Amino acid sequence: MEYISVETILNDFKESLSVLIKQYNLAEASIYEEEGEGDTYYIGYTVLKGGKTYHIHMPFEKNDEDHLALGKPEWTIQAEEGEYKGYESLDQVFEKINEMNE
C-alpha cells in the first residue's frame, strides 16, 4: 500500500473540481474530508445538483505519519435519502445522483 501526504491527495482532488463541475453539470463542488473511526479517513467532494447537496467520498487508511493510502477503491454517496455504496467510478456516482433528481 502506497502512503501519500494528505496535502498531495487534497491538491489532486482540488485540481479536478472545475472539470467535475463541467463534466457533470453541477451547480457547485468543493472538497469533502472527514476523519472516521480509528485510522480511517474519507476524502471526496461535496456537490450541489438539482438543489440538493451530496457528499461523495472514498475511504483512505491513515498511518502513524498522517499519510494516507486508498482503502477500498469505491465511492460512497451520502444524500438526504440515505447512503449508497459500491460505485466504481464517478460516472456511476453521477448516474445515481441524476436518478435521485428525476
- Residue 1 binned pLDDT confidence (cut-offs 50, 70, 90): confident
| Residue 102: predicted pLDDT | 84
Going from N- to C-terminal start, the domains of the chain cover 4-100
* 63: Cα separation from own chain's centroid: 20
Scored b (16 or more CB within 10 A) or e, 67-77 reads bbebbeeebbb
| Residue 75: predicted pLDDT | 98
Q: Given CA atoms 62, 81, 19, 73 in this order, what sign does their dihedral have? A: positive
Mean pLDDT of the chain: 95
| 78 DSSP assignment | E
| Residue 73: predicted pLDDT | 93
Percent of the chain with pLDDT over 70: 100
pTM score of the predicted model = 0.92
- 31/5 Cα distance (integer angstroms): 16
| CATH fourth-level superfamily of 4-100 | GK1464-like (3.30.70.1480)
What's the mean pLDDT in 69-83? 95
Q: Strand, coil or helix: what is 10?
A: helix
What's the mean pLDDT in 21-37? 96
